[in-house]
Amino acid sequence: MRAKSMMSLAIAGLMLVLSACGSGGASEKEADVSKDPADPFGKYSETVTINIGKEVDSADKSLPPGDSPENNVYTRYFKDNLNIDTKIIWQAGVGKDYQQKVNLAIASNDLPDALVVTDTQLRQMVKSNQLADLSEVYEQYASPVLKKIIDSTDGLAMKSVTFDGKMYALPNVTAESDMQHIMWIRKDWLDKLGLEVPRNVDELEKVAKAFVEQDPDGNGKNDTIGISGPQSGGLLNADFINPNNNNYGFDPIFGAYHAYPGFWLKGTDGKPTYGSIEPETKEALAKLRDLYAKGLIDPEMSIRKDAQELIKNGTSGIYFGLWWAGGYGPLADAIKNNPKANWQAYTLLDKNGEFTPHMGTPSNQYLVVRKGYKHPEAAIKMENLLLRDESKFDVSVGIGNYPLRIVFAPMDEMYVTYNAMKEVLAGTKKPEELDLPGYKLLKADAENIKKVKLEPYDKMDIQYWDPNADLGAWKRLYSTLVGIAPLMEPYKKTYSLTYSQTKTMESKWATLDKMEKETFLKIIMGAAPLDTFDQFVKDWRKQGGDDILKEVAEIAQQ
Amino acid sequence: MINKGFAKHYYLMLLPGMIWLTLFSIVPMFGIVMAFQDYNPGLGILHSEWVGLENFKYMFSLNDSVTILVNTLVIAVFKIVGNLVIPLVFALLLNELRLRYLKRWIQTIVYLPHFLSWVILSGILLDIFGYTGPVNQILSVFHIKPILFFGRADLFPALIVGSDVWKEFGFNTIIYLAALTGINPALYEAAAIDGATRFKRMLHVTLPGIVSAIVLLSVLSLGNVLNAGFEQIFNLYNPLVYSSGDIIDTWVYRTGLVNLQFSLATAMGLLKSVVSFLMITISYYLAYRFANYRIF
């Protein structure tokens, strides 16, 4: 009797599980709902629902009460214009949390209809045959402007999503200025201590020393930090998998030594090599180790939970990052705490006085549609609409709330914006003349610039700005005018031979990468002697690096 | 003899636990086959390609494997010992306290950290042991240069074990205290009359009285011999301390969920389970043999 009831209990439990399994991975029947003609901006006659996974920024407080990531000004906008309804079936915090959630969805083959993924995830999904072929849909539905932007990358964007001749994702295109890392520095501290802007590593060392020792914030305490470093989990340098947007790393210092760790380069013998195993990298590491030992780099780098903290509270004097790591980064809070914090941006030059940064790839986000979803074109239509109308949106609501948003920017977007702003300030151009297709924010920027920029228009120091007039506009325009300026000079670009993983990397890269990160961090922070670099090079080659180099050589020849 | 109507309640109470166990522990066991496959999510565990022991061969060829196994064992064993001995000593000391309300207060306070999650606690620990944190400030009084505690591979295991024992000892103390209340006070009186000192009474009355609780806790904790505490280490480690702090669970997390090498991660997870299973079996046998104690 008792055994029987136990059995039925177990069976009940099992059935529960089985039914749960059954609902996943269902193949939807191919109903011919859509009879709408192929129009990039066509409104569906019947509401189309798209299930998505969404990255949400917990720091974003811009949604008005009552609105949510699922129902806000943007979702209502494309509901009205396209008759598309988004359902968020799961959401996760920006960055690691979201990536992990996507990885889980891939592993369990339980995917939403559309997602934004990384290169590694895209490859895995293609390999697992989880994605819809977008070739035809793209041809039919992508708007001309969207196509033009994708074509502006000389086929790089397309190449990154094409597997066996089929297009499996819509690649984003970022402006080229998301690739070069520059130096942000407290100009008011320099002025106070009577120092010049450091332009090379030796001058940087002198300035950092002064920032640490001469109490630049004048509070009488020995609490300032010379150079900020990466936070816990952050990268010392951008690499070929994440070549863009590495804030708080040491990319400019590596660049100044012509060291490009994490990048696949053409060696002196013409054969491909890996930047991290080259002598220039050892040289740069030696310098960083020296700087760290002298206390000029944040002693708690890579352990600290949030690198921005030191910049916001006015402890740090120098950090490396992108043009947008200014206004869009920690600086809005930094000037709230200290309106006189005058952060300016410069390039760091090599010993010949040349700026030699590493360059990234225009595509690093991919919009994918699950295999079997009835309306793959819906996802593309949403991007069309975003691209066409982004400038009309009220940007007081964070644009991150636009579902499935990926960035589409002409490669030269920020350079064009920079020059246009200069012209508007000089009075040689009017906002009305700047309504160029693809340059979605240009006209709005031109209308806003005189709101936040005070005279004299040729001085960029913080006292000549009025952030309070419109903080959103200030963030963008301060970043542009201060952060893009250094990139307007000519410089020498170094590209990686490839920006995606090869076959052997799929199984071996994790180990090699871990070894590299651990070794480099230990060298810089003095936990291992500099010569462990040589052992690392040997181990790297032996544990798969040589095999990978052969594969990279094949790619490079194509 | 058995009241059947009454027994039903027991099964009903068992139900949530059974469902939980089925869903989260028994069903996922079928996933073990991934360790022997080149798992492809699109094909699922039923159709992925079989590769035999390929994943295990690769796993053993990695330098990491030995490191993480050793790290896991070292951290877990010290945690087990710490979490058995310190609460025991503390419970015995607390038991000798005359003031009952003071005893209650201490008991409650020391077990509060048990309820904090590691996510929160790790932030606090990083601050306390930070470069400008209280610990380094105290050290600076003695003219010791600031130490980057969580960047030192040699100190990391000690910090991990120490903070875990600090967090959990209050909770384990309660179990011992509960066992202590079960000792017949007449035994103490008899021993006192026979002239036993307080220390002798502790040695000959208290300890034998709770030996079964000690054995039970030891046997149960041996199942954790390869659980070094994912949540704690994940929130506190960084590449500087990989050499002494990277454990099986964090490695499996990075390999499987960050780098998408599902099969390799499963193989390592399976190895961990097999070793843990052996440990439990042995410890169970030992407990029966030497303490005549059986759980089942």
Q: Could you read off the pLDDT of A178-224 as tens digits, one per residue?
A: 999 999 999 999 999 999 999 999 999 999 999 999 999 989 888 99
Q: What is the largest CA-CA distance in chain A?
A: 93
CA distance B196 to chain A (A): 52
pLDDT of residue A270: 86
- Residue B256: its chain A contacts at CB < 8 A? 107
Per-residue pLDDT tens digits for A15-64: 444 333 333 333 343 444 444 567 888 889 899 999 999 998 877 778 88
CA distance B296 to chain A (A): 18
Tell me whether residues B242 and A514 touch, CB distance under 8 A: yes
Q: Which of A511, A519, A538, A543 to mutate to test the interface with B (most CBs of B within 10 A)?
A: A511
User: What integer is the mean pLDDT of A128-144?
Assistant: 94
- Residue B251: its chain A contacts at CB < 8 A? none
Rounded distance between C-alpha atoms, residue A277 and residue A4, angstroms = 67
Rounded distance between C-alpha atoms, residue A547 and residue A175, angstroms = 33
Asked whether the bond before A456 is cis by omega within 30 degrees of 0, the reply is yes
pLDDT band at A557; cut points 50, 70, 90: confident
* Across A154-163, A461-470, B4-13, least confident range: B4-13
Tell me whether residues A305 and B123 touch, CB distance under 8 A: yes
Give the number of other CB atoms < 10 A from CB of residue A423.
15
Q: Which has the higher per-residue pLDDT, B224 or B265? A: B265
Rounded distance between C-alpha atoms, residue B247 and residue A29, angstroms = 46
pLDDT of residue A7: 42
Which residue in the set B27, B150, B239 is minimally distant from A517, CB to CB?
Answer: B239
Q: Which has the higher per-residue pLDDT, B198 or A170? A: A170
Tell me whether residues B240 and A303 touch, CB distance under 8 A: yes
Tell me whether residues A522 and B131 touch, CB distance under 8 A: no
Q: Hey, CA dihedral for A295, A297, A302, A304, is it positive or negative? A: positive
pLDDT of residue A147: 93
* C-beta separation of A369 from A376 below 8 A: yes
- Residue B63: its chain A contacts at CB < 8 A? 543
Q: Which has the higher per-residue pLDDT, B282 or B149? A: B149
* C-beta separation of B270 from B35 below 8 A: yes
Which residue type occupies A517?
K
Which residue in the set B146, B238, B260 is minimally distant from A124, CB to CB?
Answer: B260
The interface predicted TM-score of the complex, written ipTM, equals 0.81
Q: Which of residues 228-247 of A touch B (CB under 8 A)?
A: 232-233
Tell me whether residues B264 and A104 touch, CB distance under 8 A: no
* C-beta separation of A373 from A212 below 8 A: no
A305 touches chain B (CB under 8 A): yes
pLDDT of residue A142: 94
B151 touches chain A (CB under 8 A): yes
Rounded distance between C-alpha atoms, residue A448 and residue A450, angstroms = 6
Residue A316 has pLDDT above 50, yes or no: yes
Residue A558 has pLDDT above 50, yes or no: yes
Q: Which of residues 164-223 of B touch A (CB under 8 A)?
A: none
| SS3 per residue for chain B | CCCHHHHHHHHHHHHHHHHHHHHHHHHHHHHHHHHHEECCCCCHHHHCEECCCHHHHHHHHCHHHHHHHHHHHHHHHHHHHHHHHHHHHHHHHHHCCCCHHHHHHHHHHHCHHHHCCHHHHHHHHHHHCCCCCHHHHHHHHCCCCCCCHHHCCCCHHHHHHHHHHHHHHHHHHHHHHHHHHCCCHHHHHHHHHCCCCHHHHHHHHHHHHHHHHHHHHHHHHHCCCCCCCHHHHHHHCCHHHHHHHCCHHHHHHHHHHHCCCHHHHHHHHHHHHHHHHHHHHHHHHHHHHHHCCCCC
- Residue B128: its chain A contacts at CB < 8 A? none
pLDDT of residue B296: 62
Mean pLDDT of chain A: 89
A29 touches chain B (CB under 8 A): no
Which residue in the set B18, B240, B264 is minimally distant from A521, CB to CB?
Answer: B240
What is the chain A residue with the closest CA to B64? Answer: A511
- Residue B242: its chain A contacts at CB < 8 A? 514, 518
Q: Which of residues 73-92 of B touch A (CB under 8 A)?
A: none
pLDDT of residue A436: 85
Rounded distance between C-alpha atoms, residue A365 and residue A176, angstroms = 15
- Locate all alpha helices (DSSP H) within A214-250, ordered by sequence: none
Rounded distance between C-alpha atoms, residue A35 and residue A42, angstroms = 11
3-state secondary structure of A2: helix
* Across A28-32, A307-311, A383-387, least confident range: A28-32
Which residue type occupies A264?
W
- Residue B151: its chain A contacts at CB < 8 A? 300, 302-303, 525, 527
CA distance B230 to chain A (A): 16
- Residue A233: its chain B contacts at CB < 8 A? 238
CA nearest neighbour of A186 among A326, A338, A318, A325:
A318
Beta-ladder partners of A54: A91
Contacts of B268 (CB under 8 A, 6+ apart): B59, B65, B248, B251, B252, B255
Q: What does the block give as tokens for A349?
A: 């030059």
Tell me whether residues B151 and A302 touch, CB distance under 8 A: yes
- Residue A109: its chain B contacts at CB < 8 A? 41-42, 44
A221 touches chain B (CB under 8 A): no
Which residue in the set B11, B27, B242 is minimally distant from A5, CB to CB?
Answer: B11
3-state secondary structure of A298: coil
C-alpha separations of A437 from A381, A440, A509 in Å: 17, 7, 41
Q: What does the block give as tokens for A350?
A: 């090599």
Q: What does the block give as tokens for A270?
A: 């013409």
Residue A447 has pLDDT above 50, yes or no: yes
* C-beta separation of A10 from B22 below 8 A: yes
pLDDT band at B157; cut points 50, 70, 90: very high
Beta-ladder partners of A117: A366
A531 touches chain B (CB under 8 A): no
Residue B231 has pLDDT above 90, yes or no: yes
Which residue type occupies A538?
K
pLDDT of residue A20: 39
Residue A87 has pLDDT above 90, yes or no: yes
Residue A239 has pLDDT above 60, yes or no: yes
Tell me whether residues A518 and B264 touch, CB distance under 8 A: no
Which residue bears the tokens 């295990």? B56
CA nearest neighbour of A290 among A516, A531, A530, A537:
A530
CA distance A546 to chain B (A): 16
Tell me whether residues A100 and B62 touch, CB distance under 8 A: no
pLDDT of residue A64: 87
Which residue in the set B18, B63, B257 is minimally distant from A103, CB to CB?
Answer: B257
In eight-state DSSP terms, residue A249 is: S
Percent of chain A past pLDDT 90, that is, above it, reads 68
Burial B149-171 (b: 16+ CB within 10 A, else e): bbbbbebbbebbbebbbebbbbb
CA distance A153 to chain B (A): 28
- Locate all alpha helices (DSSP H) within A31-185, ordered by sequence: 73-82, 96-107, 119-127, 135-141, 144-151, 156-159
A15 touches chain B (CB under 8 A): no
A25 touches chain B (CB under 8 A): yes
- Residue A14: its chain B contacts at CB < 8 A? 22
CA distance A500 to chain B (A): 14
Which residue type occupies B209?
G
Rounded distance between C-alpha atoms, residue A150 and residue A170, angstroms = 9
Rounded distance between C-alpha atoms, residue A35 and residue B251, angstroms = 50
Rounded distance between C-alpha atoms, residue B214 and residue B81, angstroms = 12
B19 touches chain A (CB under 8 A): yes
pLDDT band at B270; cut points 50, 70, 90: very high
pLDDT of residue A268: 86
C-alpha separations of A340 from A180, A337, B118 in Å: 27, 9, 38
Residue B122 has pLDDT above 50, yes or no: yes
Per-residue pLDDT tens digits for B21-71: 999 989 988 889 999 998 888 888 888 889 989 899 988 888 888 999 999
What is the chain A residue with the closest CA to B127? Answer: A304
pLDDT of residue B131: 86
pLDDT of residue A120: 87
Which residue in the set B152, B239, B254 is minimally distant from A521, CB to CB?
Answer: B239
Residue B130 has pLDDT above 60, yes or no: yes
- Residue B243: its chain A contacts at CB < 8 A? 518
Per-residue pLDDT tens digits for A67-80: 888 899 899 998 99
Rounded distance between C-alpha atoms, residue A433 and residue B132, angstroms = 55
CA nearest neighbour of B170 among B94, B76, B75:
B94
A10 touches chain B (CB under 8 A): yes
CA distance B159 to chain A (A): 15
Rounded distance between C-alpha atoms, residue B287 and residue B292, angstroms = 6
Tell me whether residues B258 and A128 touch, CB distance under 8 A: no
Which residue type occupies B215?
V
pLDDT band at A312; cut points 50, 70, 90: very high
Tell me whether residues A518 and B146 touch, CB distance under 8 A: no
Rounded distance between C-alpha atoms, residue A55 and residue A115, angstroms = 10
Tell me whether residues A521 and B42 touch, CB distance under 8 A: no
Question: What is the Cα Rg of chain A in Å?
Answer: 25
* C-beta separation of A197 from A190 below 8 A: yes
CA distance B2 to chain A (A): 12
CA distance A149 to chain B (A): 31
